[in-house]
Amino acid sequence: MIYINAPIGVGKSTLTKYLSDSLGTHAFYESVEDMPMLKEFYSNGDKSRSNLSFELQIAFLNYRFSQLRQGLYLQEHDGEVNTVYDSSLLSDGIMCSNLYKRGEMSGVLYDLYQELSANMVADVAGHPFNGTPDLIVYLQAPFEVMLDHIKKRGREMETQDPALVDYYKSVWDAYNDWYRGYSASPVVTIDMERYDFVANPDDRENVLSIIKDRLVSLGKLKKVSMPT
């Protein structure tokens, strides 16, 4: 099980596709169309975020949990390993914690979210899961690169309000704080200033090789059977 982790817009979905295609495994994506509440969440600054933060995080919790169950089912029944997730319960927890720290979610609701998330992970429909993936690929990018990527992908709800820059900065800070303190599972760090795996095919192959080499070292991939 591989999580691609990074702040908003840095390249999680793109790398998820490249990696899952290269490994020949299943990919799980975050579909904006499946989460119509996002548009409302972004619609009116801190007011709409405060009004909808808990509801949105619970909706994502349900969404991610469903994907987790599917991935574990594939692993148990079809023998599929190295499924790739472009977002996860882990990333949702980072986002939820940021909303709480910003004062856009109450302490009572934040504690309820954390308790519910822990209870769900403790028993994923009878499947063994310790709450951590086999590998995390962290896309490390300067804040300016994050903003540029958000602008380029052109989602109106994410660019309509200049004041969102403050929110995005807090998200970027939250992910970097997580990265500095995380030790529960192996992490491969991809420097997004060094590697442009979208536009540069050589960079793409280098990034995929870095990840696959780490999977080999973890015993999650056999070197002789790695796809080219």
**d(C-alpha 71, C-alpha 133), whole Å:** 11
**d(C-alpha 95, C-alpha 60), whole Å:** 11
* 86 a catalytic residue: yes
**d(C-alpha 14, C-alpha 4), whole Å:** 10
Contact (CB, 8 A) for 30 and 13 = yes
Q: Report the residue count for the chain.
A: 228
Per-residue buried b or exposed e for 183-196, using 16+ beta carbons within 10 Å of the residue's own CB: eebbbbebebeebe
Whole-Å CA distances, 111 to 59, 67, 93, 98, 117: 16, 23, 11, 13, 10
**d(C-alpha 129, C-alpha 131), whole Å:** 6
Cβ burial of 125 (10 Å; 0-12, 13-18, 19+) is exposed
Q: Which one is catalytic: 21, 46, 86, 148? A: 86
Q: How many CA atoms lie within 13 A of 219 on its CB side?
A: 0
End-to-end CA gap in the chain: 20
Active site (catalytic) residues: 86
